[in-house]
A = this chain, B = another copy of it.
Amino acid sequence: VAVGLTKESIVEAALDLMDEHGQEWLTMRRLADHLDVAAPTLYWHVANRAELMDAAVDLALGGGALATSDDPDWRVRMATFMRSLRARLRAHPCVTELTRSRYPASVHDMTALAVEVAAAAGLSPAGTADLARLMIWQVTGFTTMENTIRLGTAMHEPTGPSSYRVAPPDHPGARESVDEHLATLDTDALFELQTTLLISGVEQQRAQGR
């Protein structure tokens, strides 16, 4: 009955619904219902569920260039790149859920941009390649952890957009002064720390001539 169904609109709806409810929640029938269409109709526009998931990831990751900085300081450009990649991955929590058996081409393509940013650190070609790879892995890995917590776990109770109260571990440690700090988690702050430490590490490697 409904007309004008396109592959694009299907993928957009799938991405939206997965970001809201998680990828397991989204079934072909639920997606079809949402689009006011019968389930088999989707198969005229899309080969199968796997292809649809890939298209959703590519849509989430390929939407416009990442924000970049032209600050003369390479450390600022590096931090900016990592922050904006994280922002994109946070905007679409289903992406880190889906990149299980999928390492989509769009993640792969991010490497090109990362190389440009990493090159400014003045390392050898091999060091530049390694650094570019590490930036992407660190951000992606971090955001995967972060999104797992954002989706709601038994021991993390949200207290703000990036902050949580954390349940104490089963075996209470002897270090009470540290336990106090472990009772809260701020993912923004932890991400900034990771980025700062990576940049510091690169500086030191460079000072030692690598």
Contact = CB atoms under 8 A, between A and B. Distances in A.
Contacts of A199: 201
Interface residue tally on A, bucketed by range: 35 or more
A148 B96 contact: no
A133 interface: yes
A12 to B, nearest CB: 22
A161 B198 CA distance: 27
A178 B128 contact: yes
Contacts of A198: 197-198, 201
Report copies per complex. 2
Given A100-B96, A138-B138, A149-B103, A193 B144 contact: no
A105 interface: yes
Contacts of A173: 112, 115-116
Interface string A20-54: 00101000000000000000000000000000000
A146 to B, nearest CB: 8
Nearest to A136: B145
Interface string A159-180: 0000000010111010101101
B119 A178 contact: yes
28 contacts: A24-B101, A97-B100, A100-B148, A100-B151, A103-B153, A105-B169, A108-B155, A108-B167, A115-B173, A115-B175, A116-B173, A129-B182, A130-B181, A132-B178, A133-B182, A134-B190, A134-B194, A138-B141, A141-B141, A141-B144, A197-B198, A197-B201, A198-B201, A200-B201, A200-B204, A201-B201, A203-B204, A204-B204
Contacts of A204: 200-201, 203-204
Nearest to A112: B173
A109 interface: yes
